[in-house]
Amino acid sequence: MIKIGRMTDYGTLIMTYLARDSEQLHAAHEIAQAVGVSLPTANKVLKTLARAGLLESQRGIKGGYLLSRTPEQITMADIIRALEGPVGLTDCGTAQQPGNCNRQPSCSVKTNWQRISKAVNDALAGVTLAELSVPPVHPVHITRQPGQPRVQL
């Protein structure tokens, strides 16, 4: 399964929508309606994407959001990292480990975890937003009901 949060699914949809005309500013309520999520949820995702540097934001009455780079320069790895955190398999892989992991300094399993994480990351970095963009943008993957299911990877 290796699940991906629903926010990441929304984020992918939103980024795909914005990639259609990446030059123009789009208000949050417009994006929310186009993608098919509630405004508060869209706001949350948009803020996170903007904080990660994937979107530029314009405040004020004529504000909105805009891709900070071209669709060709944004990958799935960027979107996932923005909304889920660093791509890595174990705590050894990416983050700092507090516990008893360091007791075995030369942990050869650790290097394998890191190798797997890198391979996964490379796979995700190989798909650009431009490749995902297609004219009819609508919530196609949200096949699950408002219930619990999350997306699986």
- State the DSSP H helix or E strand holding residue 152, giving kind and residue range, or none if neither: strand 151-152
Q: Which does 107 bind (CB under 5 to 8 A by kind): a second copy, DNA, none?
A: a second copy
Considering only 23, 60, 143, 148, the residue that binds a second copy (CB under 8 A) is: 143
- In DSSP notation, 55-115 reads EEEE-STT-EEEESS-GGG-BHHHHHHHHH-S--SSTTTSS---SGGGGSSS-HHHHHHHH
- Tell me, residue by residue from 28 to 47, as one string, x for binding to DNA by CB under 7 A and - for no binding: xx-------xx-xx-xx-xx
- Tell me, residue by residue from 72 to 111, as one string, x for binding to a second copy by CB under 8 A and - for no binding: ----x---x---xxxxxxxxxxxx-xxxxx--x--xxxx-
Q: Does 5 bind DNA (CB under 7 A)?
A: yes
Compute CA distances 62 → 25, 29, 57, 59, whole Å: 9, 12, 11, 7
- Residue numbers at the binding site for a second copy (CB under 8 A): 1-4, 9, 16, 76, 80, 84-95, 97-101, 104, 107-110, 112-113, 115-117, 119-120, 122-124, 126-127, 131-132, 134, 136, 138-145, 149, 151-153
